[in-house]
Structure 1
Amino acid sequence: MFKQRKHKTFKYKSRFSEDGDSVDTQEDKKEFVSKWRRESIKSDTKIKGGMSMRFLILALVLLLICMYLLEKRYM
């Protein structure tokens, strides 16, 4: 009875893409993925040396307790 609205569709085409070089783009994608994996492995090794958040919070709480006890003792 009532005409239902259809979803809007768009025919998007990137202005930088070229349809004729599909083989080259596949090789570029493979090269990009391999480079990304190498960089992600490098960044993972850098993070392992840092302190955990749990340790930092525990150290802060202990510092606050020590400050409170020292203030109470000497005042």
Structure 2
Amino acid sequence: MFKQRKHRTFNYQARFSKENQTDSSLDNETKTKDFISKWRDSRGKRSKAKGAMPIKTLILVLVLLLICMYLLEKKYI
């Protein structure tokens, strides 16, 4: 009843830790840097995708819809 719970322990080993790196890691590192630079270049060239509707417009439509529902309910009751 009064036993303290122990923290869970895991035998986690990082896949890319510095201890596990070999000489081929230098080649991988240059490939990674090259990929990152290409990705940043291509990311800047794309135009920003437009969202569906701004939040203010959605709120306005919702309020108008609620007003219309209220008026129609009062008219037919």
Alpha-carbon spacing, 1:35–1:58, altered in 2? closer, same or farther (3 Å): farther
Pairing 1:14–2:15 present: yes
Identical positions, percent: 45
What is the deviation of 1:39?
Answer: 4.5
* 4+ residue runs over 4 A deviation: none
**Matched AA of 2:75:** R
> Unpaired runs of 5+ in structure 2?
1-10
Task: Supply the RMSD in Å over aligned alpha carbons.
Answer: 3.3
Looking at structure 1, the residues matched to 52 and 30 of structure 2 have their Cα atoms a distance apart, in angstroms, of 37
* Deviation of the 1:67 alpha carbon: 1.3
Aligned length, in residue pairs: 63
How big is each residue's C-alpha offset from its partner over 1:23-65, in whole Å with a ceiling of 9 and x where there is no partner?
A: 32222222332344335764x622x242112221221121111
- TM-score normalised per structure 1: 0.53
Q: Return 5+ residue gaps in structure 1 as ranges.
A: 1-9
